[in-house]
Amino acid sequence: MNSSTVFRLAAPGLVLLAFLLGAGPVSAAGAAPRVFKAGAATSNITPALGAGIVGGWSAPAATHIHDELHVRCLALDDGTTRLVFAVVDSVGVSREVFDEAKRLVHEATGLPTAQMMMSATHTHSAVSSGSTRTADTANPLGDYRGFLIRRIADGVRRAINNLEPARIGWGAGQVPQHLFNRRWLLQDGKKAVNPFGGEDLAVMNPGGRTDLLKPAGPTNPEVYFISIQSTSGRPIALLANYWLHYVGGVGPNDISADYFAVFCDRIQELLGADRQDPPFVGLLANGPCGDVNNNNYTPGAAPGPRYGRYEKMRVVANDVAQEVMRVHRTLRHHDWVELRAAQAELELRMRRPTPAMVARAQEILARPATVSPLHRRELDYARRTVAAQEWPESVKIVLQAFRLGGLGVAAIPFEVFTETGLAIKAKSPFADTFTIELANGSYGYLPTPEQHALGGYETWLGTNRVELEASRKIEARVLELLAALK
């Protein structure tokens, strides 16, 4: 079912080991025709009430399930190579959780782990699933971690069970109206105090400020999607990729999959794919949006409408789904495309606090609660600074690339800044390329070196944990993987 080649690329201080999978021979004259297959499935991963909801500065106990959480899975097979996507309703999933789920799938099916691309949506209203989002977060996994691993593996296996002859197409639309870079530069070179006692040139989510100059980075208005249908035209699955952090607007103490799940439900409705057997599966994988949300802080901008709970996520999801449908009507589906995969491990240095930072943090933690903080998050980052002393010297991350005919899909295990995703798209050897973030792990924010120089929440030690040049190294390795597939 799978052919593979191993290649090594030398780099300063690094040996890159990548696995190239696929590239089966084209059918010769008189041979059986090539058959493209696809299958999809979901697994319910909703936790019990009482679990702590992560995504904010605290973890309040869940008292209500507004909508169920799922892992949504898609399997593709070109007759030689099989690829799998799995998208999990979670703020972030650790590499250890994904690795164990992949191991279970491989054990049961023989599918190589490098041919499974697993990611988290980044909903901020789910419970912890092993995210390494912060250095000092307790590990409230308990039984849920094992449950999640098994349900991810089961979902992938069920998608494989549902493989049937299929056709595939892909396209992209434009949905710019919900995207705003949340990092802003201030007028006249002004700076903002940070929790470490220093000053930043960029501020995140600067609601109410009147001294804003301009956004510190771009947004990407495109929504990419892959459409899968049976040979008779019945919708099997649709995987979309939109570069928006999340929407929010949930009820207090509610579990919710956010607008990601609303999109999946809406696209099923628009495709007329309700009540099918096997069921249609919509998937919305997040793209590079570590610096993007859907709040417009532009000075002088007309105030937007006031939304009730869950209303805004429905608006955003519907707009994205409607644009996908507009493009989908013009789509040409292919009877067969070649599938290939490449994967590499990259070792990155972890950041370290300076002795002065540690001393200041310890002083903050020891002072009376009556002392007014210099910054409202000073205590949080003092704890993270002290904890950062125990971080390992380095971390190994998984980078991936898939080829689906003329489409390239990259995967990075961070909250990636938009400019990195755009750089990969611009430099990719494929005419069509998109990136899935928080894939195969969750290691915090990934600012570029230029954004590190501006400071701001996403660059702070404890929010970001790897070396300042990490985005450049990751971009280069991902492009190597894409080039190898081409």
The percentage of the chain sitting over the pLDDT mark of 90, rounded to a whole number, equals 85
Structure-model confidence comparison of residues 33 and 158, the more confident one: 158
**How far are the Cα atoms of 182, 187, 202, 296, 398 from residue 210, in angstroms, in the given order?**
15, 9, 14, 13, 42
Residue-level pLDDT at 303:
82
Mean pLDDT of the chain: 92
pLDDT at 128: 87
Q: Does 21 or 409 have the greater pLDDT score? A: 409
The pLDDT of 416-420, averaged and rounded, is 98
Rounded to a whole number, what is the distance in angstroms from the first to the last CA of the chain?
A: 20
Q: Which two tokens stand for residue 207?
A: 């609601």
pLDDT digit string (tens) for 158-176?
999 999 999 999 999 999 9
Q: Please, which pLDDT band fits residue 55 given cuts at 50, 70 and 90?
A: confident
pLDDT in tens, 195-229: 999 999 999 999 888 899 999 999 999 999 999 99
The token pair that represents 125 in the structure block: 């209203």
Q: Is the pLDDT of residue 133 over 50?
A: no
The reported pLDDT for the residue numbered 16 is 44
Pick the more confident residue, 432 or 57.
Answer: 432
Is 240 strand, coil or helix?
Answer: strand
Q: Packing angle between helix 95-109 and helix 142-161, nearest 10 degrees?
A: 40
pLDDT single digits (tens) 261-298: 999 999 999 999 999 999 999 999 999 999 999 999 99
DSSP 11-47: ETTEEEEEEEEE-PPPPPTTSPPP--EEEEEEEE-PP
Task: Name the burial class of residue 164, with classes exposed (0-12), middle (13-18) and buried (19+) by CB atoms within 10 angstroms of its CB.
Answer: middle
Residue 421: pLDDT over 50? yes
CB 388 within 8 A of CB 462: yes
Would you kindly state where each structural domain of the chain is located, as residue ranges?
4-21+35-47+60-299+307-348+395-485, 355-388
The whole-number average pLDDT for the span 413-419 is 98
**89, 263 in Cβ contact below 8 A?**
no
* Pair of tokens at residue 54: 């992560």
| Amino acid letter, 244 | L
Whole-prediction pTM = 0.92
Across 297-311, 391-405, 454-468, least confident range: 297-311
Whole-number Å distance between alpha carbons of 317 and 223: 11
Q: Is the pLDDT of residue 8 over 70?
A: no
Alpha-carbon gap, residue 327 to 306, rounded angstroms? 30
Contact by Cβ (8 Å): 339, 401: no
Residue 377 CA: distances (Å) to CA of 177, 192, 205, 217, 384? 31, 13, 15, 24, 11
